[in-house]
A and B are shown apart, each in its own frame.
Chain A
Amino acid sequence: MIEVKDVYFTYPSGVEALRGVSLTIKNGEFVAIMGQNGAGKTTLVKHFNGLLKPTKGEVLVDEVSTRDVSVAKLARKVGFVFQNPDHQLFSETVEEEIAFALRNFGFKETVTKRRVTWALNLLGLTGYRQTSPFMLSGGERKRVALASVLAWNPKVVMLDEPTIGQDHQQKEKLRQFIVQMNAQRKTVVIVTHDVEFVAECNPRVMLMSEGKIVADGEAKKILTDTKLVTLASIVPPQITQIFLELADLGLPTDLIDVYEARKTLLDHLEGKTPT
Chain B
Amino acid sequence: MAIIETTNLAYTYPGGSKPSIRDVSIAIEKGDFVILTGPSGCGKTTLCRCFNGLIPHFYSGKLEGELTVAGVKIVDHPIYEIAKRVGLVFQNPENQLFALSAEKDVAFGLENLGMPRDEIRKRVDWALQMTGIEDLRERAPHELSGGQQQRVAIACVLAMQPDVMVLDEPTSFLDPLGAKKIFEVINELNGKLGITVILVEHRLDLASKYANHVIIMDEGKVVLDGEPREVFNSETARLIGVGIPKATRLWQMLREDGIRLKEAPVSSEEAAKLLRGVLKT
Do residues B39 and A140 form an inter-chain contact, with CB atoms below 8 A?
no
User: Are A37 and B174 in contact, CB atoms less than 8 angstroms apart?
Assistant: yes
A261 touches B205 (CB 8 A): no
For B37, give the chain A residue with the smallest CB separation: A167
Contact A233 B175 (CB under 8 A): yes
B265: nearest residue on chain A (CB-CB)?
Answer: A242
Tell whether B173 is near chain A: CB-to-CB under 8 Å: yes
- Please name 8 further chain A to chain B contacts, defined as beta carbons within 8 Å, in addition to the given A235-B177, A266-B254, sorted by A numbering: A164-B172, A165-B91, A166-B40, A169-B241, A196-B203, A238-B245, A239-B268, A262-B254
Given contacts A167-B202, A246-B276, contact A235 B176 (CB under 8 A): yes
Contacts of A237 in B (CB 8 A): 205, 246
Q: Any chain A CB within 8 A of the CB of B8?
A: no
> Please, how many angstroms separate the alpha-carbon atoms of A261 and B246 in the complex?
10
Chain A residues with CB under 8 Å of chain B are 35-38, 83-84, 137-140, 161, 164-172, 193-196, 230, 232-235, 237-239, 241-242, 245-246, 249, 251, 258-259, 261-262, 265-266, 268-269, 275
- Contact sample, A vs B, 22 pairs, CB 8 Å cutoff: A35-B175, A37-B145, A37-B173, A37-B178, A38-B145, A139-B41, A165-B91, A165-B172, A167-B202, A170-B39, A193-B175, A232-B175, A234-B176, A234-B177, A235-B180, A238-B268, A239-B268, A242-B250, A245-B276, A249-B276, A251-B279, A258-B249
Given A164-B173, A238-B246, A249-B279: A262 and B272 interface contact (C-beta under 8 Å) = no
Give Cα A233–Cα B176 distance, bound, in whole angstroms. 7
State which of A232, A233, A269 has its C-beta within 8 Å of the C-beta of B278.
A269
Neighbouring A residues of B41 by C-beta, 8 Å: 137, 139-140
Query: Known contacts A137-B41, A166-B202: does B275 contact A246 (CB below 8 Å)?
Result: yes
Tell me, yes or no, whether B122 is within 8 Å of chain A by CB.
Answer: no
Beyond A170-B40, A233-B178, A238-B245, whether A245 also contacts B257 by CB under 8 A is: no
Q: How large is the interface on B (under 10, 10 to 19, 20 to 34, 35 or more residues)?
A: 35 or more
Bound Cα distance A242, B249 (Å) = 13
Give the CA-CA distance A170 to B41 in the complex, in Å.
Answer: 12
Q: A166-B202, A167-B202, A233-B177 are in contact. Are A239 and B254 (CB under 8 A)?
A: no
Cα(A193)–Cα(B281), bound, Å: 38
Judge whether B99 is part of the interface by a CB distance below 8 angstroms: no
Question: Please, how many angstroms separate the alpha-carbon atoms of A196 and B202 in the complex?
Answer: 12
CB atoms of A169 and B39 under 8 A apart: yes
Q: Which residues of chain B from 206 to 228 have a CB within 8 Å of any chain A CB? A: 206
B271 proximal to A (CB < 8 A): yes
Which residue of chain A is the closest to B148 with respect to CB atoms? A37
CA of A235 to CA of B184 in the docked complex: distance in angstroms? 14
Residue of B146, B178, B203, B259 touching A269 (CB-CB under 8 A): B259
Tell me if B119 is interfacial: C-beta within 8 Å of chain A.
no
Contact B254 A246 (CB under 8 A): no
Q: Are B38 and A258 in contact (CB under 8 A)?
A: no
Task: Kindly provide the distance from the CB of A59 to the nearest chain B CB, expressed in whole angstroms.
Answer: 25
User: Is the C-beta of B269 less than 8 angstroms from some C-beta in chain A?
Assistant: yes
Report the separation of the CA atoms of residues A275 and B280 in the bound assembly, to the nearest whole angstrom: 12
Q: Could you tell me the distance between the alpha carbons of A235 and B271 in the complex, rounded to whole angstroms?
A: 17
- Across-interface contacts of B281 in A (CB, < 8 A): 275
In Å, the complex CA distance between A237 and B41 comes to 27
Residues of B within 8 A of A194 (CB): 203
